[in-house]
Chains A and B, each alone.
Chain A
Amino acid sequence: EAGVAQSPRYKIIEKRQSVAFWCNPISGHATLYWYQQILGQGPKLLIQFQNNGVVDDSQLPKDRFSAERLKGVDSTLKIQPAKLEDSAVYLCASSGPGLQETQYFGPGTRLLVL
């Protein structure tokens, strides 16, 4: 089966610009996660969706970050405006009907904010 797809793979922007990332989870996976991974750290959850509803967005900086999963399949994560400290890899993951802790990660989008 196809894995989690993400695009773009790399993005370089200047601070105060906006950027959007796209994710398509594994077919049939109802739960979708967005993580931020800063170099040298573990992934940090930004938001979790169950179908098209938000389950957990407690760590999402809502003044600049937004995410949606309108049809319960693919999802977009947006940053507006970007700050230097947003430079990180943004990982999308999905989990299926089995063990929720078994998450399948996409290749990530590497963001550099100058």
Chain B
Amino acid sequence: GQSLEQPSEVTAVEGAIVQINCTYQTSGFYGLSWYQQHDGGAPTFLSYNGLDGLEETGRFSSFLSRSDSYGYLLLQELQMKDSASYFCAVSYTGRRALTFGSGTRLQVQP
């Protein structure tokens, strides 16, 4: 089956920058998405990369390298409210439904 790998936990301080990496299986790859989920909440869409390069949305940026089967989510100027789980999710050609990673739990400390 298709699998994704991302770190299970990351800790950072307020105001810092953190990068969450994601590697995926290449076969049939279409695009890489990122979702945020607070404890007890629903996943919310953050960004999508269909092409190589950087996509920027405010404090959040996402990067994709199709040749390396790798992407990352970059969070800048961290705030306490950014403490949440972050999931990378892959869509595949012909099957555009998302396959989610296991998530990275980000803890932002004062």
Give the contact stretch, choosing among A11-19, A21-29, A70-78, A96-104.
A96-104
Interface centre among A33, A43, A99 (most CB of B within 10 A): A43
Least Cβ distance of B2 to chain A in Å? 11
Pair count A-B, CB < 8 A: 51
Contact-residue bracket for chain B:
20 to 34
Give the contact stretch, choosing among A61-69, A80-88, A105-113.
A105-113
Chain A residues lying within 8 Å of B89, measured Cβ to Cβ, are: 42, 101
Whether A114 is near chain B, meaning CB under 8 Å from some CB there, is: no
For residue A108, which residue of chain B has the nearest CB?
Answer: B42
Interface residues of A (CB under 8 A from B): 33, 40-45, 48, 55-56, 91, 93, 99-108
**Shortest 10 CB-CB contacts between residues of A and residues of B:** A42-B100, A105-B42, A100-B96, A101-B33, A48-B97, A101-B48, A105-B43, A45-B97, A42-B87, A43-B100
Given contacts A42-B101, A56-B97, A103-B98, 8 further A-B contacts (CB under 8 A): A40-B102, A41-B103, A48-B97, A101-B33, A102-B45, A103-B45, A104-B45, A107-B42
